[in-house]
Amino acid sequence: MGASRTYRVTIRGKFVELSARARGRLAAEAGEHGVLSARYTAEGTVTYGPELHGLAFRFETRLDEDVEDPQLAAEAEGAGALQAWAERYGVTVTADHIDVTCMDDIKIRRPSGRRSRVAGDAAGRSTRG
């Protein structure tokens, strides 16, 4: 077994033909599923608005580097987790758009020398010679 890589999956979809019971449950819990509760977790989190139309599902998984198509595998895991959530809530959802990002491929670029210039400026003097 090789090293693993972290993938974040974001799925945008819609609720389909909600029953009165499902609509009531989702509406009652809408405060727990607002944008401020959005997290990438192994179980996945769902966010939606009070209109109960669109939804976003965020999911995180770790896959071995030797997986043949990790993007496709992460997408499938995320879609499966969304369907599991929908089944727990007794609703039907669509998965209209799926984005997969490998977090190990993201590079954070910081401007060179920024830290010293900011520190010098804060002290009221220039950091240049």
What local confidence, expressed as pLDDT, does residue 21 receive?
A: 94
Share of the chain above pLDDT 90, in %: 72
Neighbours of 12 (CB within 10 A): 14
Amino acid at 120: G
Pick the CATH number of 4-104 from 3.30.70, 3.40.50, 3.90.25, 1.10.760: 3.30.70
Residues 6+ apart with CB under 8 A from 6: 60, 61, 62, 102, 103, 104
Give residue-wise pLDDT tens across range 41-86: 999 999 999 999 999 999 999 999 899 999 999 999 999 999 999 9
Question: What are the beta bridge partners of residue 9?
Answer: 59, 100
Residue linked to tokens 């984005």: 99
63-80 burial: b if 16+ Cβ within 10 Å, else e: beeeeeebeebbbebbbe
Residues 62, 7: Cα–Cα separation, whole Å: 6
Task: Judge whether residue 126 has pLDDT over 60.
Answer: no
* pLDDT band, residue 109 (cuts 50/70/90): confident
Which DSSP category does 17 fall into? S
Q: Does 31 or 85 have the greater pLDDT score?
A: 85
Domain boundaries, the chain: 4-104
Share of the chain above pLDDT 70, in %: 85
What is the DSSP annotation of 73-90? HHHHHHHHHHHHHHHHHT
What local confidence, expressed as pLDDT, does residue 115 receive?
A: 58
Residues 107, 96: Cα–Cα separation, whole Å: 28
Which stretches of the chain are DSSP H helices? Answer: 20-28, 70-89, 114-122
